[in-house]
A and B are shown apart, each in its own frame.
Chain A
Amino acid sequence: MNETTLLRDAGPEAPPLSPAARSAARAALLEEIGASRTVRGRLRAFLPGRRLPLRLGAAVVAVAAAWTAVVVAPGDAAPGRPAPSATAPAAPAAPGGIDLVAAEAVTFPVSLDPVPEGLTPLYSRRGGIAQYGSTPPFHVADYEPTSLVSGAPDAAGAGATDPGRVLLGLFPEDPRSSEEYGFWAEGDPTGTATVDGIEAGVWREEGVVSLLWERPDGQWVWLAGEGARARTESLVAVAESIVDRPQPVGLQFGLAPAGWSVGGYEESRSLDLVSDTDPALLLRLSAVGPQYDGTIDELLDGLPMAAPVETVTVQGRPGRLALLEGDAGTSPFWTMLGQLPDGRYLRLLAPQELTREQVLQIGEQVTAAS
């Protein structure tokens, strides 16, 4: 079942259209139609800002009331408790417990040199273990407009040229072999091109051009250019700028459980480590988007707590540590919130197999590129 079908069958349901709401909407339309027959009405139709009085307020109240029972107010934190220090050396693991060791940098295997102007890469790694699909591991770098990635207004202004988008996929086999690889071009190539002396298939569609070729080392590369990048000649130039120079992904652990490996990462926003012996044990680090304007406590809104929220210090700034109820049949797990020097929030999820002190120690040494 694909995602579209899933959304139809299991996506959020629409509330029913009540006869009253239907009648009100129809009456408003008829009023507008009637008014259009008058000069005043025709003018009114062009006036900006004319809107129906919204019942949004009532809807928000209704939703809020429904959630009152599960929202954890900031007051639930334990203000009288001393903030635990996370600067102590790594605590020895309890007998049979998990040791923490220095983590190696997590990298994306290739780079574009130079990075296309105006674009910033977002790195993903998928596949490899059951939770991340049935394919072998594969990597995707999505080069998106820098203004979109950073959340900052485009310095060149709204009238600046759209820099387009480049998608770089690196696969252990022909990506047409599994839908999970996401290769979207259909049918046979519409042409060919030469990349570093190797013939590549070319698919030209309106607005997008794709190249696909097999490297001498047996890996397959899919390069797609969108918008301003959707020209075969310039895309071939981008293809020939691929170098085997690993790039560190944006999120990094400084400390990690011994015997755990990278499970995957998604668009440079989350990084998962999983236990080599029990892939169900997961440690996830994520950074909250730069445009998030809520508070640290709002990041805990609605989450089912297994214990009161603690106020802690993470990297010298106020943080939160909470034990959350697990899903049905699973154990509670830790969530730790902290704040990065650039103001963004980070979140760490950890299983209870790690101690409270270990979670804080890991949180103390995570980093996130701006």
Chain B
Amino acid sequence: MIALSLHRSADPPSDAVHLRALPSALPTDAEVLAASQDDPERFAMLFDRHAAAVHRYLGRRVGELADDLLSETFLVAFRRRADYRPEHLDVRPWLIGIATNLVHGHARTERRRYRLLARAAGRPEEHGPDPADSGDRLDAQALRGPLAAALAGLKAHDRDVLLLVAWGDLSYEEVAAVLGVPVGTVRSRLHRARRRTRAVLDAPTLSDLLSDPASEETR
């Protein structure tokens, strides 16, 4: 009898349903966007939800220029909100896709940023490594230059796929929808981007990376 009583007392409280219902009381992104067709002010809620993520993605690609492109991303998204199709794509990847298209207009800035980062990482540190730094952290630091050099050398459409996955957190299907290419193409571009990135990471020294001819290309 005691056991039965304890068991019953462990049942979920009756108001658990209400607690679970709270999050869904907030409108989804798609609902907000749909509502903004008639009530444009609602669109600002999407900015509040996603500005940080979009800026973080842009910032990793174009550095300080992200401030301007963040603003442009949401202006473009607002103007094109009637074109949004929720059955194709969630709002966040849709915004990341718009941001990606804007980055294309600043491709030279992006490549220059990677090259500068690669070269900066190749310079000797002013101070020796902090003994308190973990091995993983030091490993990551050692890879910053090679990774930046690798990004500078990728072809634009290969880099898009790689960074939409890595920094945009998009699935292959979302990348395909954003770029308007089949999923298979996403996979093959990702394969090529990873292969080339791995080739650079495997280079004997960072100094070699600085001569990577691809980093001077403009396409």
Contacts and interface: CB of A to CB of B under 8 A. Distances in A.
Nearest to B157: A148
Contact of A289 (B123, B124, B143, B218): B218
Given A266-B199, A325-B124, A327-B122, 14 more contacts: A3-B162, A7-B163, A10-B143, A28-B71, A56-B68, A59-B65, A126-B199, A131-B202, A208-B184, A291-B218, A292-B216, A303-B210, A304-B122, A328-B125
B188 A25 contact: no
B66 A226 contact: no
Interface stretch (B1-9, B15-23, B54-62): B54-62
B35 interface: no
Interface string B156-189: 0000001101110000000010000111110110
A184 B67 contact: no
25 contacts: A8-B167, A10-B139, A10-B143, A11-B147, A12-B147, A12-B151, A13-B60, A28-B74, A28-B75, A33-B41, A56-B68, A140-B195, A165-B188, A267-B196, A270-B212, A280-B204, A289-B216, A289-B217, A293-B218, A327-B206, A327-B207, A330-B207, A335-B211, A347-B213, A349-B207
B127 interface: no
Interface string A175-186: 000001010100
A127 B74 CA distance: 45
A343 B109 CA distance: 24
A355 B44 CA distance: 65
Contacts of B167: 7-8, 11
Interface of A: 2-4, 6-15, 17-18, 21-22, 24-26, 28-30, 32-33, 36-37, 45-46, 51-52, 54-56, 59, 62-63, 67, 70, 124, 126, 131-133, 140, 142, 148, 151, 165, 167, 180, 182, 184, 205-208, 224, 226-227, 230, 266-267, 269-270, 280, 282, 284, 286-289, 291-294, 299, 302-304, 324-328, 330, 333, 335, 345, 347, 349
B70 interface: yes
B206 A14 contact: no
Main secondary structure on chain A at its contact with chain B? mixed
A32 B78 contact: yes
A270 B147 contact: no
Interface string B107-128: 0010011111101001111000
Contacts of B183: 205-207
Interface of B: 40-41, 43-44, 47-48, 51-52, 55-60, 63-68, 70-72, 74-75, 78-79, 106, 109, 112-117, 119, 122-125, 139-141, 143-144, 147-148, 151, 155, 162-163, 165-167, 176, 181-185, 187-188, 190-199, 201-208, 210-214, 216-219
Given A59-B65, A180-B198, A289 B59 contact: no
Nearest to A326: B207
Nearest to A264: B199
A2 B40 CA distance: 42
Shortest Cβ-Cβ A-B pairs, 9 listed: A14-B59, A207-B182, A289-B217, A208-B184, A207-B184, A205-B184, A25-B71, A10-B140, A7-B166
